[in-house]
Structure 1
Amino acid sequence: MNGCSWEKLLVVRFGSLGDIIHTLPAVATIKYNFPKLHIAWVIEPRWRPILEENPFIDEILEFDRGDWRRAWSTIRLLRHRRFDAAIDFQGLIKSALVARLSGADHVMGFHRSQLRERWAALLYSEQVGATALHVVDRNLQFAAAIGASQPLVVFPIGPGVPEGELPAGQFILAAPFSGWRAKEWPLERYEELGELVRRRLDCPLVLNASWEWRDKVPRLRDCWWHFSSVNGLIHATRRATAVVGTDSGPLHLAAALGKPGVAIFGPTDPRRNGPYTDRMIVLRSPSARTTYKRLRSYHPSMLEIGVQEVFDALLRALASVNSAGGASE
């Protein structure tokens, strides 16, 4: 496999937010090493704002799984593009199928032993084994396997747009919801954290959630709910003084934007899925045991992380950034 002989490359990574962000450096590396290579990224419509204005991507194609007519139209468009190669960074049967249906000469993905859905490997013409632990580094190894030997670790993120109401001044941002309940920290603890943030830092704790949560969330004392799409989340994160989060897309977005803060981890391994930055403090109970089962209740290890522990870590993260010359925008 050698990308220098290709003219067109298709990247398949539909979602979700954190996984897309963790793929950005690999794609930037490929473009950096092969600047004449036309790179198209097929993605779910809701995540498109992440890729907008990315200088390492030539084309963004939307794949709407909820509308089979639009999805099939995208498949026809992919076949018309005549890609030399397609890389499935997602590792699912649905993403591998789109890569295969694109008609690309080379359809590549990670080795079947490293896939969430191993049957996806049957649709690949080539497989790449990765030895790195963190997902970002694994994706970079994939880029190296096709000849992109000079890594470029950057996270180009779209600008976002203002949505919903935000405080006029400084605020701490948190996103309490994630892909599944086991990775979350109880909502009532954000209420306690909000009281500490207001009293000790003299600013509000803003809780971001998608619009679908607007009529479902409880009122929390000392917390400011902010509802938005991904565009609004990007804007809010850029404005935030610091971020508190769990293993979820908003946390990885904050890390990519260079924000300081606290990452609360439990069942998932921060060595593999943690924030890819040195500006965040990771908290994880010593008793935590790694599992990626999508359980519908809080993982016990998440309950072992106390509010005061999170607030103290937030103070350390802010102090570290202040001593280094300020937070990133």
Structure 2
Amino acid sequence: MKILLVKLSSLGDVVHTLPVVQDIRAAFPEAQIDWVVEKAFAPLLARCEGLNCVIPCEIRRWRKSFWTAATRQEWGAFRAELQREAYDAVIDLQGLTKSALVARLARLAPGGKRYALANQTDGSGYEAPTRWVADVAISVEPHIHAVRRSRELAARALGYSPAAATQFGLKVPAASAKIHEHFPQGRIAFVHGTSRADKEWPLSHWVALGQRLHTAGYQLVLPHGNAAEQATSRAIAEALNGTAADSAVVLPLLALDALTEELAQCAGVIGVDSGVSHIAVALDLPHVQIYNFDTAWRTGPDSQDGRQLSVYAQPAPGVEDVWQAWLACSAAGAAA
């Protein structure tokens, strides 16, 4: 059986869809699973167990210059790669016009079908073409977590029951056992960057939390994805290193696969609602996810063992709330 998954973006949505691959592998061990995704997120999918082929596209960029010869050439090359295989099932897990277009262009094997969502779910985008293009449109419960929505859609499309446990299937090197003499508890990553300013946590809160973690024996690691986030990382590091040298380290700009490796070496992650924080969930790290909006039920950690928690308050959670959540997560991680 050859299966094509269509989930183009964004990073958090792609991470939430990873368990679908592991569910299909468990149900159909011999299945060939391919995935179409925006090129920026392809390095992450390269670390996903069980994927046969990652087909990158750049629809976000192409639609801004669709009239140019270069874009037409790139689009033609993408279309040729997309249609190289004939699929028994094409599953649009995104539910937008752009994903419906990709699903429509994919080539079906004799008897193959296209599957998609038949309805919008709470808090998620949805556009009618996804339903029009599908041979089979599947309705799911409107009030559902993003991970469970994708898992349920794929399971119903292919006729299997997903496992109770959620497996993300990211391949990463084993965490190093080396302990720094000044930071016996290891490293904690602060994921402060997000695409929306209203999801950010105050700079002063990051510094205050960093001081507590340093006192507890942790070193802080500060990733970033652009110049603005790099400036914030440097500001946090400067504030923390002013009182205790080397208590915070600003990482270089890393590709997603390298950043995933870096996170996997950490003792835990504390971050806002962002794609990188969701990678921490997929890595099963002790993790606190900070929410300024009551949306954690839809996108936040869905952990049952207490290793991963979300903290919500308006206008933003306080330092003490996040600190107590971290203590609970780290304790649960130590007990596991």
| TM range, smaller chain | 0.7 to 0.9
- Asked if 2 retains the 8 angstrom alpha-carbon contact of 1:33 and 1:148, the reply is no
Out of 125, 136, 145, which is 1:116 matched to?
125
2:232 is the alignment partner of 1:209: no
What do the CA deviations read for 1:46-96 (whole angstroms, capped 9, x no partner)?
212222253322111111233533333111222231223211111221111
The 3-state SS of whatever aligns with 2:87 is coil
- Asked if 2 retains the 8 angstrom alpha-carbon contact of 1:252 and 1:276, the reply is no
The 3-state SS of whatever aligns with 2:29 is coil
Out of 125, 135, 140, which is 2:135 matched to?
125
For residues 159 and 103 of structure 1, the distance between their equivalents in structure 2, rounded to whole angstroms, comes to 33
Q: Give 2:311's aligned amino acid.
A: L
The 3-state SS of whatever aligns with 2:276 is helix
Q: Which moved more, 1:232-241 or 1:152-161?
A: 152-161
Q: Give 1:15's aligned amino acid.
A: S
For residues 171 and 227 of structure 2, the distance between their equivalents in structure 1, rounded to whole angstroms, comes to 22
Aligned to 1:54: 48
What do the CA deviations read for 1:127-155 (whole angstroms, capped 9, x no partner)?
11112611111112112212342324311
Aligned to 1:175: 191
What do the CA deviations read for 1:266-291 (whole angstroms, capped 9, x no partner)?
22511111113231122112xxxxxx
Out of 131, 143, 157, which is 2:170 matched to?
157
Matches within 5 A, 1:83-122: 83-104=87-108, 105-114=112-121, 116-121=125-130, 122=132
Aligned to 1:243: 269
The 3-state SS of whatever aligns with 1:243 is strand
For residues 79 and 249 of structure 1, the distance between their equivalents in structure 2, rounded to whole angstroms, comes to 29
For residues 39 and 264 of structure 1, the distance between their equivalents in structure 2, rounded to whole angstroms, comes to 34
- Asked if 2 retains the 8 angstrom alpha-carbon contact of 1:265 and 1:302, the reply is no
Aligned to 2:244: none
Percent identity over paired residues: 27
Aligned to 1:3: none
The 3-state SS of whatever aligns with 2:116 is strand
Aligned to 2:75: 71
The 3-state SS of whatever aligns with 2:83 is helix
Displacement, 1:176? Answer: 0.6
Out of 299, 310, 314, which is 1:282 matched to?
310
Aligned to 2:328: 316
- Asked if 2 retains the 8 angstrom alpha-carbon contact of 1:12 and 1:43, the reply is yes
The 3-state SS of whatever aligns with 1:113 is coil
What do the CA deviations read for 1:204-256 (whole angstroms, capped 9, x no partner)?
22221125447643522114322322123211211111111122112211111
The 3-state SS of whatever aligns with 2:35 is strand
For residues 126 and 231 of structure 1, the distance between their equivalents in structure 2, rounded to whole angstroms, comes to 34
For residues 90 and 300 of structure 2, the distance between their equivalents in structure 1, rounded to whole angstroms, comes to 27
Task: Return 5+ residue gaps in structure 2 as ranges.
Answer: 63-70, 175-179, 241-247
For residues 204 and 187 of structure 2, the distance between their equivalents in structure 1, rounded to whole angstroms, comes to 19
Aligned to 1:292: none
Cα 1:79/1:116, change in 2 over 3 Å: same
- Asked if 2 retains the 8 angstrom alpha-carbon contact of 1:255 and 1:280, the reply is yes
Task: Return 5+ residue gaps in structure 1 as ranges.
Answer: 1-6, 162-166, 286-300
Out of 208, 221, 225, which is 2:250 matched to?
225
For residues 254 and 93 of structure 1, the distance between their equivalents in structure 2, rounded to whole angstroms, comes to 29
The 3-state SS of whatever aligns with 2:289 is strand
- Asked if 2 retains the 8 angstrom alpha-carbon contact of 1:251 and 1:275, the reply is no
- Asked if 1 retains the 8 angstrom alpha-carbon contact of 2:294 and 2:312, the reply is no
For residues 151 and 214 of structure 1, the distance between their equivalents in structure 2, rounded to whole angstroms, comes to 38
The 3-state SS of whatever aligns with 2:298 is helix
Tell me the TM-score normalized by structure 1.
Answer: 0.82
Cα RMSD over matched residues? Answer: 2.5
- Asked if 1 retains the 8 angstrom alpha-carbon contact of 2:49 and 2:170, the reply is no
For residues 138 and 316 of structure 1, the distance between their equivalents in structure 2, rounded to whole angstroms, comes to 28
